[in-house]
């Protein structure tokens, strides 16, 4: 491929800049500067609750300082909504209140949220932490598929059958060891436009685009707070995919902040016809009973008016900084064995950071299932792990990220590969610089490759480095050294000439403690191999 | 930590406060760099709408800091770092390849939809977003792996690995030419 840059430029020209691009930028700037700037990455999450269905009841609980007034704006969705309320909870936790200890646990907070607000008692939580300052995270929360009768031919599958998924953004608003609060909820089937609501004014509208499965319904609403007053609204119910219009309410109550939401409910939900404040209906044990069943939810916080609270918050922005401003990561704290549990009921933080050992990256996988599973590491293949057993793999994974996936062979259909039941990102940090690159740095585009084969019983060399130094084309000034990690097996040798990697030699074990040269790769113009 | 974070949040002056001369210089900066950034982000994301959103996000962020950015040695580099930060944030927040929302037909990955005649599109579709980003930064925009690594939040060696993987995949998909 002679001109990759030209190829990419050609692809780039498939998109044309809009003629009014700068005008659009100016309009966006004006929207953003209506309030004091939060950040480009702010995730305002609000769940409008009051007066709609038990979703609301679960949020507001029983007590409460009214948000929006003297106590400040809505800064979070759940459990508390204002900084005053959050501080009160924090004080109680700091004083040792046992019943609130779970608020310091990120996973517990995320799980409690979906249990109490959505009624999802069997949630699987995967956490992704934001790096850098601040205490922010996104929890991906899924539920397993429910046992489901096969629909009649031509009939759609009951939307309550497949698993459900939401992403919940959480933040600790009182670091360093603050209680966790839910900032935003993002469902799989609902998208807000605009995606964030900073800068909206009264009577503006958030459009909730809903992709409804057959048989389900959706509705939305909002609750906004002024000084000592509340204004709530709800939308019509829709039974087909479409748009719900969430309009910021006007009226006697001069609202300053609040939240909007939209959610999807399963077929036959009785809550619309009965008392919407009857929370008991939400949590009946029979998933196919006649009750309101929340299948999906998207919600976000909204702050209106010219001057948000100084403590109005967002998730930390990753502002580009100079190298001098960026504190280095704490490399000493990175473990040298990555622990992964292949168990869907166990929450794992992703990515999992690990530092290599001299022989490579160690990943210990524990199988939480009572049957054998298969564990795949991208580019390094699959290995089996026995039921309820553990296996430690050592792989020459280069610095950077790679995916590990756990597969349950029992989930495979006759014609399809199973989907992984656990997927974890592994991040290899190499503070000691153990990794020696295997990337050729050729002046020309020509690369020579060779594959060697042997008769059975062939014997190799004991020292692949010494053997490589005797190959044709190696100069006395070339550096011949082990590539990958110092003790990677099988070994790979690289040749460095004038500071550039110009050749690679791969070896395989001969079965007698020695090594056979199995493959070569070299730049076409260096005359090696 | 929150205090330091909030101090950062208070820094940017609103664009309305910037003198007229600064606004004019920013507009020149925008006109000079908008198309190239848009095209680069289109190749990275494979999605025209997403590319436009990321470009707008990046320029907005730069505009709010224009008094400082304009004094930097390399304002364009700062712009690209900002854009890549936004790209990385999106990858983290919502690892969805396409949005299942009606009315967003352009939301699909333009490369994923490439047909048999579009060998390049299909080749790009076979790359991961990070591979595409590394390839665009190094091959299309000419950044070194150190700078590209800072933009992507990874080590330089990771950029080289990603770009190497991408080149190899493109080479295989397109054949030696």
Which one has a higher pLDDT value, A194 or B97? A194
Highest mean pLDDT among A280-284, A470-474, B101-105, B110-114: A470-474
Cβ pair A4:B167 closer than 8 A: yes
- CA–CA distance, B25 with A504 (Å, rounded to integer): 51
Tokens of B30: 């925008």
pLDDT of residue A18 exceeding 60, the answer is yes
Q: Dump pLDDT digits (tens) for A454-501.
A: 777 788 888 998 888 888 899 999 999 999 999 998 899 999 999 999
Among B16, B59, B157, whose Cβ lies nearest the Cβ of A25?
B59
Q: A275 vs chain B: nearest CA distance in angstroms?
A: 31
Over the stretch B18-75, which tens digit does the pLDDT of each residue have? 455 578 899 999 999 999 999 999 999 888 888 998 999 899 888 877 877 888 888 8
CA-to-CA distance for A179 and A105, rounded, in angstroms? 8
φ, ψ of residue B14 to 5 degrees: the values are: -70, 155
**Chain A residue with minimal CA distance to B34?**
A17
With an 8 Å Cβ cutoff, is A2 touching chain B?
Answer: yes
pLDDT computed for residue A58 by the predictor: 34
- Give dist(CA B65, CA B15) in Å, integer: 8
pLDDT in the model for residue B36: 95
Bridge partners of A246, per DSSP, are A206
Q: ipTM, 2 decimals?
A: 0.77
Chains A–B, number of C-beta pairs less than 8 Å apart: 163
pLDDT for the residue A315: 38
Which residues on B lie below 8 Å from A173 (Cβ)? 2
A57-71, A224-238, B57-71: least confidently modelled range = A57-71
A360 Ramachandran zone, left/alpha/beta (phi>0; psi -120 to 50): left
E strand spans, A242-360: 242-247, 257-265, 294-303, 337-342, 348-350, 352-354
Instruction: Give, in order, the Cα–Cα distances in Å from A299 to each of A87, A186, A221, A302, B157.
Output: 23, 7, 10, 10, 40
* CB nearest B161 (choices: A11, A14, A439): A439
Q: Name the band, by pLDDT with cuts 50, 70 and 90, for residue B136.
A: very high
- How deeply is A214 buried, as exposed, middle or buried, from its count of CB atoms within 10 A (0-12, 13-18, 19+)? middle
For residue A434, give Cα distances in angstroms to A143, A397, A485, A505: 41, 11, 6, 19
Query: Does the structure show a pLDDT above 60 at A426?
Result: yes
Pair of tokens at residue A398: 């280069």
B137 CB-near residues (< 8 Å, 6+ apart): B40, B80, B84, B143, B147, B148, B151, B152, B159
Minimal CA separation from A132 to chain B, in Å: 10
A 389-418 residues inside an 8 A Cβ radius of B: 398-401
- Contact residues, A window 117-146, toward B, CB-based 8 Å cutoff: 128, 130-131, 133-135, 138
CA A173, CA A86: separation in Å to the nearest integer? 8
Q: Which chain A positions have a beta carbon within 8 Å of B63's beta carbon?
A: 25, 29
- Tell if the CB–CB gap between A398 and B140 is shorter than 8 Å: no
Chain B CA closest to residue A186: B94
Nearest CB to A398; choose among B139, B157, B176 = B157
**A335 contacts: CB under 8 Å, gap ≥ 6:** A353, A354, A355
At residue A322 the predicted structure's pLDDT band, cuts being 50, 70 and 90, is very low
A38: which chain B residues are within 8 Å (Cβ-Cβ)?
A: 9
**Cα–Cα distances in Å, from A51 out to A59, A138, A278, A482, B62?**
11, 28, 11, 68, 42
Helix (H), strand (E) at residue A507: strand A500-509
- Looking at the partner chain, which of A11, A15, A138 has a beta carbon nearest the beta carbon of B120? A11
How many other CB atoms are there within 10 angstroms of residue B174's CB atom?
15
| Pairwise CB contact (< 8 Å): B43 & A11 | yes
pLDDT, tens digit (0-9, with 9 covering 90-100), for A22-51? 988 887 776 655 433 222 222 222 222 222
Beta strand A230-234 with A242-247: parallel, antiparallel or unpaired? unpaired
Using CA coordinates, name the residue in chain A closest to B176: A1
Interface contact A12-B102, CB threshold 8 A? no
Report whether the peptide linkage leading into residue A349 is cis, meaning its omega lies within 30 degrees of zero: no
> For chain A, how big is the Rg over CA atoms in Å?
29
Q: What is the pLDDT of residues A365-421, one digit of tens each?
A: 999 888 888 888 877 877 889 988 999 999 999 998 788 888 877 655 444 445 567
Among A residues 23-42, those touching chain B with beta carbons less than 8 Å apart = 24-25, 28-29, 32-33, 37-41
| B41 or A138: which leads in pLDDT | B41
Q: How far is B128 from chain A (nearest CA, A)?
A: 11
Give the pLDDT of residue A135. Answer: 61
Q: Is A9 in Cβ contact with B140 (below 8 Å)?
A: yes
Over chain A, what is the mean pLDDT? 74
pLDDT at A67 over 80: no
pTM, to two decimals: 0.41
Predicted confidence at residue B101, as pLDDT, reads 26
| Cβ contact, residue pair A186, B170, below 8 Å | no
At A481 the pLDDT is: 94
Query: What's the pLDDT band for B93 if we cut at 50, 70, 90?
Result: low
Position A362 pLDDT exceeds 90: yes
CA distance B5 to A362: 36
Which residues of chain A have a CB within 8 Å of the CB of B88? 318
Residues 446-505 of A with CB under 8 A from B: none
């Amino acid at each position: 491929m002679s001109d990759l840059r030209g190829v990419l430029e050609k692809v780039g020209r498939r998109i044309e800049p809009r003629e009014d691009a700068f005008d659009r930028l100016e309009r966006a700037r004006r929207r953003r500067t209506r309030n004091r700037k939060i950040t480009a990455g702010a995730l305002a999450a609000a769940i409008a609750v009051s007066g709609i269905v038990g979703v609301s009841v679960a949020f507001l609980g029983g007590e409460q300082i009214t948000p929006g007034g003297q106590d400040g704006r809505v800064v979070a969705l759940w459990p508390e909504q204002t900084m005053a309320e959050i501080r009160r909870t924090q004080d109680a936790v700091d004083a040792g209140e046992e019943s609130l200890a779970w608020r310091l646990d990120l996973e517990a907070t995320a799980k409690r949220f979906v249990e109490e607000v959505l009624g999802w008692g069997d949630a699987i939580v995967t956490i992704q932490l934001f790096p850098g300052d601040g205490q922010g995270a996104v929890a991906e929360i899924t539920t397993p598929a429910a046992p489901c009768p096969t629909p009649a031919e031509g009939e759609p599958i009951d939307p309550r059958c497949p698993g459900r998924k939401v992403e919940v953004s959480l933040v600790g608003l009182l670091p360093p060891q603050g209680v966790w609060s839910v900032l935003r909820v993002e469902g799989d089937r609902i998208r807000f436009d605009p995606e964030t609501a900073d800068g909206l004014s009264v009577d503006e509208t958030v459009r909730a685009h809903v992709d409804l499965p057959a048989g389900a319904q959706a509705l939305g609403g909002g609750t906004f707070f002024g000084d000592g007053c509340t204004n709530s609204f709800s939308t019509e119910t829709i039974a087909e995919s479409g748009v719900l219009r969430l309009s910021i309410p006007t009226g006697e109550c001069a609202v300053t902040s609040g939240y909007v939401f939209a959610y999807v409910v399963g077929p036959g939900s009785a809550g619309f016809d009965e008392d919407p404040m009857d929370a008991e209906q939400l949590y009946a044990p029979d998933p196919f009973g006649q009750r309101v069943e929340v299948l999906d939810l998207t919600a976000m916080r909204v702050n209106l008016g010219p001057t948000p609270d100084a403590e109005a918050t967002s998730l930390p922005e990753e502002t580009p900084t100079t190298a001098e401003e960026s504190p280095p990561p704490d490399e000493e704290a990175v473990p040298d064995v990555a622990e992964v549990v292949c168990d869907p009921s166990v929450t794992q933080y992703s990515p999992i950071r690990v530092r290599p050992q001299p022989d490579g990256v160690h990943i210990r996988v524990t199988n939480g299932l009572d049957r054998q599973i298969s564990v795949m590491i991208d580019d390094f293949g699959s290995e089996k792990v026995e039921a309820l057993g553990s296996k430690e793999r050592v792989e020459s994974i280069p610095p950077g990220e790679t995916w590990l996936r756990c597969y349950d062979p029992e989930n495979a259909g006759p014609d399809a590969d199973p989907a992984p039941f656990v997927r974890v990102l592994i991040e290899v940090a190499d503070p000691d610089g153990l990794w020696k690159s295997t990337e050729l740095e050729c002046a020309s585009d020509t690369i020579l490759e060779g594959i060697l084969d042997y008769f059975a019983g062939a014997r190799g060399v004991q020292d692949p480095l010494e053997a490589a130094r005797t190959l044709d084309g190696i100069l006395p000034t070339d550096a011949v050294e082990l590539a990958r990690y110092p003790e990677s097996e099988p070994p790979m040798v690289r040749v460095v000439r004038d500071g550039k990697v110009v050749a690679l030699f791969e070896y395989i074990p001969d079965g007698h403690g020695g090594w056979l040269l199995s493959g070569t790769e070299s730049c076409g113009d260096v005359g090696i191999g | 930590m929150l205090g330091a974070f909030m101090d950062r949040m208070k820094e940017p002056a609103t664009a309305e406060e910037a003198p007229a001369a600064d606004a004019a210089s920013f507009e020149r900066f925008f006109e000079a760099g908008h198309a190239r950034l848009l095209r680069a982000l289109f190749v990275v994301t494979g999605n025209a709408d997403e590319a436009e959103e990321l470009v707008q996000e990046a320029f907005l962020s730069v505009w709010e800091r224009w008094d400082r950015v304009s004094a930097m040695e390399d304002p364009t580099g700062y712009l690209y770092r900002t854009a890549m930060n936004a790209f990385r944030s999106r990858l983290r927040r919502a690892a969805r390849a396409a949005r299942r929302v009606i009315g967003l037909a352009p939301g699909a990955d333009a490369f994923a939809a490439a047909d048999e005649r579009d060998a390049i599109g299909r080749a790009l579709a076979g790359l991961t977003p990070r591979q595409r980003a590394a390839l665009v930064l190094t091959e299309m925009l000419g950044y070194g792996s150190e700078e590209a690594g800072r933009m992507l939040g990874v080590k330089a060696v990771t950029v080289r690995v990603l770009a190497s993987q991408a080149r190899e995949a493109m080479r295989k998909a397109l054949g030696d030419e």
